[in-house]
Amino acid sequence: MNVPKRYARAVGMTDEAWKRHANPWSVWTRFAAIPLMIGAIWSREWLGWWALVPVALVVVWLALNPHVFPPIERPESWTARGIYGEKMWLRDRSLISDDHRNVQRLLIGVGSAGFALLGWGLVALEPWPTVFGATLITLGQLWRIDRLGLLYLESTGHTTTS
């Protein structure tokens, strides 16, 4: 079993949780957690060990997030289609065409580079790698959601968005 699938199982991503996670509020508040986590980690400069409190709050929010919003039964929004596509991708990788597979690999590389830069920036308390890394992660995730939404549309017989 691959890492994303294990993670999804570990955080209780049942069919109901996936429907709740497809809610645009779930998706956008997870993106909002990126600067919150950066601020929480950066706050160690002022708060010392107390910085673990805001870090823990963000981690708890990220764990609860896919479970707290109303479920989306029909993925009509861009974000909902992306999350439904992500669920399909995690459950059956054979659904992915070579085109989607290549873009997913590229986006994993973009996200990994962003994560490395972000990590460096947060350890060294350097603004430019922190901001650039967070930007790469965000853009990579947005592009990934878009591609997974296309995967969902293609696999359900839709060729264009409505």
141 falls within a domain = yes
58 falls within a domain = yes
Residue 3's pLDDT band, with cuts at 50, 70 and 90, is low
162 falls within a domain = no
| Number of domain units in the chain | 1
121 falls within a domain = yes
151 falls within a domain = yes
Residue 46 is classified by DSSP as H
Helices of type H across the chain: 3-10, 15-21, 24-42, 44-47, 52-68, 78-91, 98-124, 127-155
**pLDDT digit string, tens, across residues 28-39:** 999 999 999 999
Query: Can you give the residue range of the structural domain that contains 105?
Result: 3-155
**pLDDT digit string, tens, across residues 91-141:** 887 777 788 788 888 999 999 999 999 999 999 999 999 999 999 999 999
11 falls within a domain = yes
160 falls within a domain = no
77 falls within a domain = yes
Predicted TM-score of the model (pTM): 0.84
What is the average pLDDT across 52-68? 95
What is the average pLDDT across 138-151? 94
